[in-house]
């Protein structure tokens, strides 16, 4: 016999979460429903809590294959707290399951405006793009609904959330590497990767580094075998002052091409910004062994040495 759950919103939600983790989606959904009714009966506005409950119940519906109710609950959650990542991802998955590819594309792209490192959204975009090209042809972009512009306030709200709220991204950041490196890309994947990289390069020239990161990330999901794509994305991270991400991308680039001068230089720049001067000098030294007369590297070495003194 199941233990009695006290009638408080917090306890009902916690019990629902436990049932969800145990794979008891129907029971979890019922508990979220009770919590929603109790919260709404209070009459006190708590949009954050109500939005989470709708989103959690949507996750239950999605697990049970009830995509229509999942979409309804995600839409309710987003009406309360616009541009929340979890309901956007869940709704996108439901749209995708129902083959409503244009709507799924919009939700995945909206997520990437908030956080361009969410691998599940990047993978979703990759799948949906292929489906749209197959079903709508080369002019498929012209047939998309409008993609909402995410306000800066929503991006800041996501970035300011406690780290546990970022599990969706933390769990999936490594998936880009493992998913793509575990298989040999097809000729079509390689061509698509090159096209996406070129789109990223064009965005860099226009100064749109955040969008360029999205394109490079999509490219790497198609094929992670090109060193330059990692070092190009590292440049964007440097411009956006995301120095640790720049270091990671340069390291990946150098695994693929140990003589990638740009990767050494950009990682040295990132290390300098992180005040890891020893690592910065090591990268500059490696670069100068490849190109002894590289002027920017010589200048960077002088700057690092001055900072160390």
Q: What is the pLDDT along the chain (309 residues), one digit of tens a residue?
A: 344 445 788 999 999 999 999 999 999 999 999 999 998 888 766 889 999 999 999 999 999 999 999 999 999 999 999 999 999 999 999 999 999 999 999 999 999 888 888 888 888 888 888 888 888 888 888 999 999 988 887 777 766 665 445 554 444 444 444 544 555 677 777 888 899 999 999 999 999 999 999 899 888 888 888 999 999 999 999 999 999 999 999 999 999 999 999 999 999 999 999 999 999 999 999 999 999 999 999 999 999 999 987
Q: Which two tokens stand for residue 19?
A: 């049932």
Backbone angles phi, psi at 237, to 5 degrees: -60, -40
Nearest-angstrom CA–CA distance, 232 and 250: 9
The whole-number pLDDT of residue 176 equals 46
- How does DSSP classify residue 151? P
The whole-number pLDDT of residue 172 equals 44
Nearest-angstrom CA–CA distance, 74 and 7: 24
Nearest-angstrom CA–CA distance, 128 and 168: 20
Whether this prediction's pTM lies above 0.85 is answered by no
Provide the Cα torsion 94, 137, 204, 174; round to 10°: 40
Provide the Cα torsion 286, 287, 288, 293; round to 10°: 170
Nearest-angstrom CA–CA distance, 90 and 48: 17
Distances in whole angstroms, Cα of residue 106 to Cα of each of 14, 95, 176, 253, 272? 31, 10, 21, 31, 38
């Amino acid at each position: 016999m199941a233990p009695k759950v006290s009638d408080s919103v917090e306890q009902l939600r916690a019990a629902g979460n436990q049932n969800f983790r145990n794979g008891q989606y129907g029971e979890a959904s019922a508990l979220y429903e009770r919590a929603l009714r109790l919260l709404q009966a209070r009459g006190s506005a708590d949009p954050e809590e109500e939005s989470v409950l709708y989103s959690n119940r949507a996750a239950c519906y999605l697990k049970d294959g009830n995509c229509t109710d999942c979409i309804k609950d995600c839409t309710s959650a987003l009406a309360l707290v616009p541009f929340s990542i979890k309901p956007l991802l869940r709704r996108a998955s439901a749209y995708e399951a129902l083959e409503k590819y244009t709507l799924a594309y919009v939700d995945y792209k909206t997520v990437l405006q908030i956080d361009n490192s969410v691998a599940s959204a990047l993978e979703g975009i990759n799948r949906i793009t292929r489906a749209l090209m197959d079903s709508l042809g080369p002019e498929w972009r012209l047939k998309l609904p409008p993609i909402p512009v995410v306000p800066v306030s929503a991006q800041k709200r996501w970035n300011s959330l406690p780290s546990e709220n970022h599990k969706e991204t933390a769990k999936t950041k490594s998936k880009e590497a493992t998913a793509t490196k575990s298989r040999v890309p097809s000729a079509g994947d390689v061509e698509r990767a090159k096209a996406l990289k070129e789109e990223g390069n064009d965005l860099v020239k226009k100064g749109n580094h955040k969008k360029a990161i999205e394109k490079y990330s999509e490219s790497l999901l198609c094929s992670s075998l090109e060193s330059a794509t990692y070092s190009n994305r590292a440049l964007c991270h440097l411009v956006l002052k995301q120095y640790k991400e720049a270091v990671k991308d340069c390291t990946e680039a150098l695994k693929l091409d140990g003589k990638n001068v740009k990767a050494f230089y950009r990682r040295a720049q990132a290390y300098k910004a992180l005040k890891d001067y020893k690592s910065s000098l090591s990268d500059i030294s490696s670069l100068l062994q490849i190109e002894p007369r590289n002027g920017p590297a010589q200048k960077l070495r002088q700057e690092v040495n001055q900072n160390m003194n």
